[in-house]
Homo-oligomer: A and B are copies of this chain.
Amino acid sequence: MSLATTLQVPGRRQRRREETEQRILSAAVRLFEKQGYTSTTVEQITEAADVGKGTFFNDVPSKDHILLSLFGMLRVEFDHLEREAREVTDVRAHLRAFARRIVTAHGRPNILRNVIGIAMTEPLIGTAFESLVKRARGAVTRILEQGLRMNQVRTDVPVEILARNFQQFIFGTQVLYSINGGKEDLQEWLDTMFELFWNGAATRPSSAKQKQAKRK
């Protein structure tokens, strides 16, 4: 720790608290990925985070709370995505990048697999996840509306349904990939499925163009 950091006494306690929380979250995610949510104990998390269980127990009330903190971080990301929707110029590229970020980036297909599994079997987590998924759908809907304004998205299907399709394809890819033991190329699975989605969501002229290109 640098001298400057040490000298900032007023915010120090708060900062240390945040550092600790961050360490706990990272350790928890690593353990969830490695050995699954169910078999991970709070003790393992505090140990891996090198946090005394006695001292910091208030920070680690339960595994459920750790998962809910993760949801909170994603919620911030979705809110950001929703706010910037009106600045999107290439809706296809934007959604594709979003899909990749959600599923493969953060480097953690395993954590999403665990969360889906838990959300489907544990009511408390399920409810929180439902609300998170709706938030994400809201953001995707705003982006698709931007696509409507820019004539990139078809007008004859409500954007809410297209946003739902988008999530169906993401979850389906994630679940099938996990069921297959995670041995395949997730990125390729995702991209193939995204093309199927976009082919159905894009304005019709765009797919007519593809057809012309193919006829040549």
Contacts and interface: CB of A to CB of B under 8 A. Distances in A.
A123 to B, nearest CB: 8
Identical copies in the complex: 2
Interface in A176-216: 176, 178-181, 189, 192-193, 195-197, 199-200, 204, 207-208, 211, 214
Given A130-B180, A168-B189, A196-B197, A175 B208 contact: no
Nearest to A121: B117
Contacts of A121: 36-38, 114, 117-118, 121
A48 B176 CA distance: 33
**Size category of the binding interface on chain A:** 35 or more
A78 interface: no
A169 interface: yes
Given A169-B172, A199-B199, 9 more contacts: A117-B121, A120-B175, A121-B121, A129-B179, A134-B180, A168-B176, A171-B176, A172-B172, A204-B214
Contacts of A122: 38
Contact of A181 (B130, B172, B180, B193): B130
A100 to B, nearest CB: 15
Nearest to A167: B176
